[in-house]
């Protein structure tokens, strides 16, 4: 970067002014935004849905291969995805950032460019936050707020025996994209002259660096008058999310390996890395697809949707959560999603 | 500590279960709490007030002299203080934590003990959050949510010429407490055998380690039917907060040095450290008192309140923000509050 403005030249409040001066409020519910002790929201008879995520440099992202603009975009996506997973509509975000003095104003501007792009894409307002320094690294805290008609939210705990288990989009690509980026990073560190080989890998790299939340799926539910009985977003891998639904709904399930949607690009990448594509879908994280259950009666309403796959069904709790493999055998599903504490 | 349980033995979800298993919901507005993609709040015709703070080890707190239980308590206090500063009532919090593997389960339990104690004191429910690892240090993100009758919140921007400038409690003690703790830390590092000398300093140390938010002041406003015209909490020092009100209200002010409330314990500590008590009040931070303006007509309603001081009045914007010293001279007020980026 040719220009570098030290953040200390602005001070904390100058910095906040700079980063938030172009905000245009999109939601009537955003009554008081950035610039006071707190923001004020009025959802006019709707209920408020709220979630928070912390993203830590070196744990959740690596700035060596993550452009700051993408990171800003992804920060918003990760959070609104949780709001969609409640079958609600995101309306506001609050952003807390801590960063060391290795970050320039230009770097923060890039990050906010991504934040604002995502705010526009998902129709949410940035209404407040906190900006502070860290001794080391970049730390992001994002709180997303949404709205839902009274008692129309979808929890993880509503799945019942006989319901169909469905998932949007395809799975495993983000994990494979990350695997590729980590490999290229190692190669670069060993031989800095070698150019990264991302040829033909645009899809999987895009899935990890610039994921999207499935606002189209909740919009489709409203249009098709489908009320999922339970829902969760796939952030830790399909296995882990299925087990959350089973545990909280007190049910078991049958999952068919052959029904798990995996993109052709992912299969090819898995082959190259000598990985099992199904394992990538089950245990890889960060797909941000929606996993949900519906009543069998709703099957006809979604059976032709190109972005929804029926991957199994709900059983009694006693039957446990089982996967039927392509080879015809049956195994209990175990959580091997990303566990930040096993690092 | 004699017992140490590694967090990795529980996994992320086991940890969340452990930390949140004893939550008892206090507010009817907390419809869905911990354990789903997001929490759901229904404020039943009231408006929602929301704020976020990030606390970073080594920047905002030093675990060498901050007990984890106090830190948990303070985390909640710092956030609900922002809700009171909107003249609203806090109802829920969401907590995001990142920590390295140097923290044991027992350490986290201690932190949560403080969080739950504060939740009880301030009547708020912990309804969600995120728990993750960090490469280094302890990072806390707290989002506080509150409620207020429609359009009854108090912003920073409502002060008008002739309004009285008031502050609750006393100022500067937290800064002096911090100064003392930093001194004792240096002494300990140089001569580990020397016992800390905190004799007679309980008040100032308590103000930095276990501050309280002024829920009594907003309760008094309701009871006495006072609507402040503007309000802010004193987290960065009196000067900085006064300038926020002046800037956002487009007014000036006169502040009388002799009216600034400073506890006798603070004066004595300032004397020992060779510091000016007024400077500590103006530029020290973390008092979490409320600074507010009222119409002159409301003066009689609060003049006998032992915890409220009238410290000046609002003037035209052109007159600027001025302090009249005890010596009879006049100076412009300058922001020398804690600036995290000038470190």
Does B338 touch chain A if contact means CB atoms closer than 8 Å? no
Residues A114 and A252 in one domain: no
A173: domain CATH number is: 3.90.650.10
Residue B39 sits in a domain whose CATH number is 3.30.1330.10
**Residue-wise burial string across A125-141, b where 16 or more C-beta atoms lie within 10 A, e elsewhere:** bbbbbbbbbbebbbbbb
Q: What's the CA gap between A143 and A145, in Å, rounded?
A: 7
- Is the minimum CB–CB distance between B261 and chain A shorter than 8 Å? no
In a domain, A157, yes or no: no
Within an 8 Å CB–CB cutoff, is residue B26 touching chain A?
no
- H or E element at residue A266: helix A264-272
Q: B132 — contact with chain A (CB < 8 Å)?
A: yes
Look at B38 and A47 and tell me if their CB atoms are within 8 Å. no
Query: A127: closest CA among A152, A161, A90?
Result: A90
* Vertex B44: Cα angle to B43 and B45 (nearest 5): 100
Over residues B184-188, mean pLDDT: 88
Domain endpoint, select from A148, A180, A204: A148
Which of A148, A177, A195 is a domain's end point?
A148
Question: By the 8 A CB rule, do A234 and A81 touch?
Answer: no
Look up the domain containing B304 and give its range: 164-332
Q: Is residue B2 part of a domain?
A: no
Distance CA A117, CA A103 (A): 21
Domain assignment of residue B341, yes or no? no
In this structure, is residue B118 part of a structural domain?
yes
How many residues can be counted in chain B?
343
Interface test with A, best of B33, B37, B145, B218 (most A CBs within 10 A): B37
ipTM of predicted assembly, 2 dp:
0.89
CB pairs under 8 A between A and B: 230
Measured distance CA(A139)–CA(A92) in Å, rounded: 20
In a domain, B155, yes or no: no
Rounded-to-integer distance, Cα A118 and Cα A112, Å: 10
pLDDT tier for residue B294 given thresholds of 50, 70 and 90: very high
Cα B205 to Cα B94: distance, rounded to the nearest angstrom: 27
Tens of pLDDT, residue by residue over B251-293, are: 999 999 999 999 999 999 999 999 999 999 999 999 999 999 9
Contact yes or no for B97/B139 (Cβ under 8 A): yes
Token pair for A92: 């506001």
Q: What is the pLDDT of residues B25-71, one digit of tens each?
A: 888 889 888 888 888 899 889 999 999 999 999 999 999 999 999 99
Specify whether B15 is located in the same domain as B141. Answer: yes
Cβ-Cβ contacts under 8 Å, B130 against chain A: 52-54
Tell me what the mean pLDDT of segment B73-82 comes to: 97
Residue in A36, A82, A94 nearest the CB of B155: A36
Q: Does B285 contact A at CB distance below 8 Å?
A: no
B153: chain A residues, CB-CB within 8 Å: 32, 40
Q: What is the mean pLDDT of residues A67-74?
A: 96
Q: Percent of chain A having pLDDT more than 90?
A: 73
Co-location of A122 and A261 in the same domain: no
Residues of A numbered 85-104 whose beta carbons fall under 8 angstroms of chain B's beta carbons: which are they? 85-86, 88, 92, 94-98, 101
Q: Give yes or no: residues A132 and A174 share one domain.
A: no
* CB-based contact A35 B248, cutoff 8 Å: yes
Q: Are residues A230 and A277 in the same domain?
A: yes
Q: Is A128 annotated as a binding residue?
A: no
Of B36, B48, B128, the CB nearest to A155: B36
Question: Residues 6 or more apart from B250 whose CB is under 8 A from it?
Answer: B157, B317
Task: Establish if A193 touches chain B: CB-CB under 8 angstroms.
Answer: no
| More confidently predicted of B198 and B212 | B212
Number of domains in chain B: 2
Q: Does pLDDT of A195 surpass 80? A: no
Same domain as B38, residue B143: yes
Cα A114–chain centre separation = 15
**A150–B37 C-beta distance less than 8 A:** no
Return the pLDDT at B24: 84
Six token digits for residue A302: 């979604």
- Judged by CB atoms closer than 8 Å, whether chains meet at B36 and A146 is answered as no
A143 carries a ligand binding annotation = no
For B53, the closest of A36, A59, A130 (CB atoms) is A130
B98 vs B138: CA distance, rounded Å: 6
Q: Which two tokens stand for residue B243?
A: 């300038």
Residue B338 has pLDDT above 50, yes or no: no
Q: Which of residues 161-180 of B touch A (CB under 8 A)?
A: none
Quick: pLDDT tens for A97-112: 999 888 999 999 999 9
- Same domain for A17 and A89? yes
Do residues B15 and B88 both lie within one domain?
A: yes
Give domain status of residue B27, yes or no: yes
Q: How far apart are CA A124 and CA A144, in angstroms?
A: 9
Considering the domain boundaries, does residue A158 fall inside one?
no
Q: Please report, for residues A49, A62, B233, B287, the alpha-carbon distance to residue B217 in angstroms, rounded to integers and kept in the order given.
A: 30, 46, 12, 14
Q: Is residue B1 scored above 70 in pLDDT?
A: no
Q: Say what the pLDDT of residue B181 is.
A: 93
Among A341, A142, A306, which Cα is nearest to B11's? A341
Phi/psi of residue A335, nearest 5 degrees: -80, 115
Question: What pLDDT band is residue B341 in, cutting at 50, 70 and 90?
Answer: very low
Instruction: List beta partners, residue B49.
Output: A40, B146
Of the pLDDT bands very low, low, confident and very high (cuts 50, 70, 90), residue A187 is: confident
Beta bridge partners of residue A168, listed in sequence order: A308
On whether residue A159 sits in a domain, the answer given is: no
Are residue B58 and residue B177 in the same domain, yes or no?
A: no
- Report the C-alpha gap between A100 and A132 in whole angstroms: 9
pLDDT of residue B337: 45
Contact B168, B289 (CB under 8 A): yes
Question: How high is the mean pLDDT of chain A?
Answer: 92
Q: Which residues of B touch A244 (CB under 8 A)?
A: 13
- Does position A247 have pLDDT exceeding 70, yes or no? yes
Same domain, yes or no: B232 and B328: yes
Structure tokens at A287: 């797909």
What is the CA B191 to chain-centroid distance, rounded?
33
Same domain, yes or no: B215 and B299: yes
pLDDT at residue A188 in the model: 85
| pLDDT for position A20 | 86
**pLDDT score, position A190:** 87
Cα A86 to Cα A26, A290, B294, distances in angstroms:
21, 10, 43
**Taking 50 as the threshold, does the pLDDT of residue B141 lie above it?**
yes
Same domain membership, residue A198 and residue A101 = no
Indicate the residue of A82, A130, A339 with minimum beta-carbon distance to B11: A339
Q: What's the confidence (pLDDT) of residue A15?
A: 82
Could you tell me if A274 and A337 are in contact, meaning their C-beta atoms sit under 8 angstroms apart? Answer: no
- Chain A positions in Cβ-Cβ contact with residue B37 (cut-off 8 Å): 51, 82-83, 85-86, 156, 231-233
How is residue A57 annotated by DSSP? B
- Residue B130 touches chain A, beta carbons under 8 Å: yes
Pairwise CA distance, residues A309 & A301, whole Å = 13
- Comparing CA positions, the residue from A236, A227, A89 lying closest to residue A244 is A236
Chain A segment 29-68 residues within 8 A of B by beta carbon are 31-32, 35-43, 45, 47-54, 56-60
pLDDT confidence of residue A2? 58
Burial of B63 (0-12, 13-18, 19+ CB in 10 A): middle
| Residues of chain A found within 8 Å of residue B139, distances taken between Cβ atoms | 54, 56, 98, 134, 139
Q: What percent of chain B is modeled with pLDDT above 70? A: 97
Choose the final residue of a domain: A88, A113, A148: A148
Q: CB-based contact (8 Å) between A200 and chain B?
A: no
Strand partners, A17: none
Which of A226, A182, A174 has its CA nearest to residue A64?
Answer: A182
- Here the tokens at position A259 are 């029904």
Record the tokens describing residue B60, joined without a space: 């905002």
Q: Whole-number mean pLDDT of chain B?
A: 92
The answer to whether B286 is annotated as binding is: yes
Q: Measure the CA–CA gap between A21 and B10, rounded to whole angstroms.
A: 44
User: Are B52 and A141 an interchain contact pair (Cβ–Cβ within 8 Å)?
Assistant: yes
* pLDDT tens per residue, range B202-254: 999 999 999 999 999 999 999 999 999 999 999 999 999 999 999 999 999 99
């Amino acid at each position: 970067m040719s220009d570098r403005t030290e953040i200390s030249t602005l001070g904390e409040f100058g910095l906040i002014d700079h980063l938030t001066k172009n905000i245009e409020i999109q939601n009537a519910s955003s009554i008081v935004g950035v610039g006071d002790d707190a923001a004020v929201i009025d959802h006019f008879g709707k209920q408020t849905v709220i979630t928070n995520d912390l993203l830590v440099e070196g744990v959740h992202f690596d700035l060596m291969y993550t452009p700051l603009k993408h990171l800003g975009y992804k920060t918003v996506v990760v959070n609104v995805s949780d709001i969609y997973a409640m079958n609600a509509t995101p309306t506001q975000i609050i952003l807390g950032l801590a960063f060391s003095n290795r970050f320039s104003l230009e770097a923060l501007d890039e990050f906010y460019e991504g934040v604002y792009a995502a705010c526009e894409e998902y129709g949410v307002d940035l209404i407040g936050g906190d900006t502070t320094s860290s001794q080391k690294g970049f730390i992001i805290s994002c709180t997303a707020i949404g709205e839902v008609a009274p008692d129309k939210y979808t929890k993880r705990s509503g799945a019942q025996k006989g319901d169909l288990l469905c998932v949007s989009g395809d799975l495993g690509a983000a994990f494979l994209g990350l695997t590729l980026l980590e490999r290229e990073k190692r190669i670069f560190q060993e031989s800095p002259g070698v150019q990264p080989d991302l040829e033909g890998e645009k899809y999987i790299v895009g899935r990890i660096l610039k994921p999207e939340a499935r606002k189209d799926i909740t919009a489709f539910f409203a249009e098709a008058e489908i009320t999922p009985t339970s829902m969760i977003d796939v952030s830790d891998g399909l296995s882990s999310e299925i087990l959350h639904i089973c545990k909280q709904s007190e049910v078991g399930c049958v999952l068919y390996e052959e029904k798990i949607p995996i993109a052709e690009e992912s299969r090819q990448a898995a082959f190259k890395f000598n990985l099992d594509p199904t394992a990538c879908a089950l245990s890889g994280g960060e797909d941000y697809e929606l996993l949900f259950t519906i009543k069998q009666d709703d099957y006809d309403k979604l059976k032709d949707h190109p972005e929804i796959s029926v991957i199994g069904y709900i059983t009694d709790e006693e039957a446990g959560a089982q996967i039927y493999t392509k080879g015809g055998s049956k195994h209990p599903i175990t959580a091997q999603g990303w566990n930040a504490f096993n690092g």
